Amino acid sequence: MIRALAAIFLCAPGIALAQFVTPVHVIPARTVISASDLEVQQGNAAGALRNVSRIVGKEARVTLYPGRPIMAGDIGQPAVVQRNQLVLLIYDKGALSITTEGRALARGGVGDRIPVMNLGSHATIRGVVSGAGQVKVSP
């Protein structure tokens, strides 16, 4: 009886299933995702991304597997700063602008907050990646 009711409920007109995005093949971590890597599936997956356009051009933070929904934490901006890369540290406050050299202690994309070692003082500070090889710091 319960199976019959479930079949009627799922087949009833006007009831729409949610959709979510999955990879069509294994996408290794640190790979920039293209539209040809993705497909939309029907079903319910709590927290899954539902729009292909929000995923294309992003970088996989973890390995993505076919058939598994892509979650927001699985992707991010493509890295423009690599771990151990020499970067320009930039401090701007009003008319004051200070730049110095640092070493990135983590990978990061634009907008990511990463630790950086100031090569002059050897102090570790956190800054926001602002572009390729650039990290903005604040007090």
In a domain, 2, yes or no: no
Same domain, 105 and 116: yes
Residue at which a domain ends, from 24, 43, 76: 76
pLDDT at position 13 is: 53
Same domain, 72 and 20: yes
Mean pLDDT in residue range 83-99: 94
pLDDT at position 16 is: 54
In a domain, 6, yes or no: no
Name the domain count of the chain: 2
Annotate 37-102 with DSSP letters as a single string.
GEEEEES--TTB---GGGTTT-EESS-B-TTSPPBGGGEEPPEEE-TT-EEEEEEEETTEEEEEEE
Mean pLDDT in residue range 22-42: 94
Same domain, 98 and 130: yes
**CATH number where 124 lies:** 2.30.30.760
In a domain, 100, yes or no: yes
Mean pLDDT in residue range 101-120: 95
Same domain, 97 and 55: no
Same domain, 69 and 84: no
Instruction: Provide the pLDDT confidence category of residue 15 given band limits of 50, 70 and 90.
Output: low
In a domain, 1, yes or no: no
Same domain, 110 and 87: yes
Residue at which a domain ends, from 76, 91, 125: 76
In a domain, 3, yes or no: no
Instruction: Provide the pLDDT confidence category of residue 98 given band limits of 50, 70 and 90.
Output: very high
Residue at which a domain ends, from 51, 76, 101: 76
Same domain, 41 and 83: no
Instruction: Provide the pLDDT confidence category of residue 43 given band limits of 50, 70 and 90.
Output: confident
pLDDT at position 8 is: 43
pLDDT at 17 over 70: no
CA pair distance 16, 67, nearest whole angstrom = 20
Q: Domain of 92? A: 79-137
State the pTM of this model. 0.68
